[in-house]
Structure 1
Amino acid sequence: MMDPEQTAIVCDDHPIFRAGVVSSLTNGLGLTVLAEAADGESCIAKLKLYEPRILVADLSMPLTDGFGVLEWIGRNQPGIRAFILSMHTDISFVQRARELGAAGFMAKEDAESELAAAIGSNTPFYTSESIGRKSRSVMSDLSAYALAEKLRKVSDAERRVLVLLTQSMTSREIAEQLFISVRTVQAHRVSLATKLGAQGPNKLLELAIRHRDQILG
Structure 2
Amino acid sequence: MTRVVLADDEATVRAGIRAILGTDPSIEVVAEAADGRQAVDLVQRHAPHVAVLDVRMPHLDGLAAAEQIGRTVPGTAVIVLTTFGDDAYIAQALAAGAQGFLLKSGDPRDLIAGVHAVADGAAYLSPRVAHRVIASMRDNRTARTTAARQRLAVLSDREREVVALVGAGMSNAEIARRLFLVEGTVKAYVSSALSRLGLRNRVQAAVLAHEAGLVDDLPE
What pairs with 1:123-142 in structure 2 (closer than 5 Å)? 124-131=122-129
Where in structure 1 are there 5+ consecutive unaligned residues? 135-217
- Superposed displacement of residue 120, structure 1: 2.6
Normalized against structure 2, the TM-score is what? Answer: 0.54
Q: Deviations over 1:116-144 (max 9, x none)?
A: 1212336843211332789xxxxxxxxxx
**Which residue of 1 is the match for residue 135 of structure 2?**
none
Q: Matches of 1:93 and 1:11 in 2, distance apart?
A: 17
**Which residue of 1 is the match for residue 68 of structure 2?**
72
Query: Alignment partner for residue 61 of structure 1, among 57, 64, 86?
Result: 57
Q: Matches of 1:78 and 1:69 in 2, distance apart?
A: 12
The AA in structure 2 aligned to 1:129 is P
Q: What SS does the corresponding residue of 1:78 show, helix, strand or coil? A: coil
- Do the aligned partners of 2:4 and 2:50 also contact (CA within 8 Å) in 1? yes
Query: Alignment partner for residue 112 of structure 2, among 110, 113, 116?
Result: 116
1:29–1:85 distance in 2 versus 1, CA, 3 Å: farther
1:46–1:126 distance in 2 versus 1, CA, 3 Å: same
Q: What SS does the corresponding residue of 1:131 show, helix, strand or coil? A: helix
Q: Matches of 1:76 and 1:55 in 2, distance apart?
A: 13
**Which residue of 1 is the match for residue 170 of structure 2?**
none
- Superposed displacement of residue 29, structure 1: 4.8
What pairs with 1:1-217 in structure 2 (closer than 5 Å)? 3=1, 6-110=2-106, 112-121=108-117, 124-131=122-129
Q: Percent identity?
A: 29
1:124–1:98 distance in 2 versus 1, CA, 3 Å: farther
Q: How many residues align?
A: 130
Q: Deviations over 1:96-131 (max 9, x none)?
A: 111222111011101523111212336843211332
- Superposed displacement of residue 37, structure 1: 0.6
Q: Matches of 2:122 and 2:29 in 1, distance apart?
A: 23
Q: Matches of 1:127 and 1:109 in 2, distance apart?
A: 13
Query: What is the aligned-residue RMSD (CA, Å)?
Result: 2.0
Q: Deviations over 1:23-68 (max 9, x none)?
A: 2222225212111011011111111211111111100001100111
Q: Matches of 2:38 and 2:116 in 1, distance apart?
A: 26
- Do the aligned partners of 1:81 and 1:102 also contact (CA within 8 Å) in 2? yes
Q: What SS does the corresponding residue of 2:106 show, helix, strand or coil? A: helix
Runs of 4+ with deviation above 6 angstroms: none
Q: Matches of 1:93 and 1:43 in 2, distance apart?
A: 19
**Which residue of 1 is the match for residue 149 of structure 2?**
none
